[in-house]
Amino acid sequence: MDDIKKKVAQRIRTLREAKGMKQETLAWTAEVDRTYMNHIELGERNISVTTLAKILTALEISWLDFFKEIESA
């Protein structure tokens, strides 16, 4: 289970950095606490589907594209 948390965390961080977005900006846009976002990106938190949906919306990426890259990693 920890492996998938780390893959999701890395994917979120990679996408955020590719957009040149600060972690604080992503947290604000996704309506997630800034410190919680940090824990998410470190793979320290299990996030809900609702929270992931907010993050994906903020990153402007579809579920399919998000998980396609995780599957191939």
Is there a contact between 14 and 39 (Cβ–Cβ < 8 Å)?
Answer: no
Return the SS3 of 64: helix
Which residue segment(s) compose the domain that 45 sits in? 2-72
Domain CATH for 33: 1.10.260.40
Is there a contact between 29 and 58 (Cβ–Cβ < 8 Å)?
Answer: yes
d(CA 61, CA 65): 7
Count of domains observed in the chain: 1
Single pTM value for the model: 0.91
pLDDT tens readout for residues 48-61: 999 999 999 999 99
Compute the radius of gyration of the chain from its Cα atoms. 11
pLDDT, block means (10 residues), the chain with 73 residues: 86 97 98 97 95 98 92 65
Predicted local confidence at residue 28, as pLDDT: 98
Cα atoms in the 13 Å half-sphere on the side-chain side of 21: 20
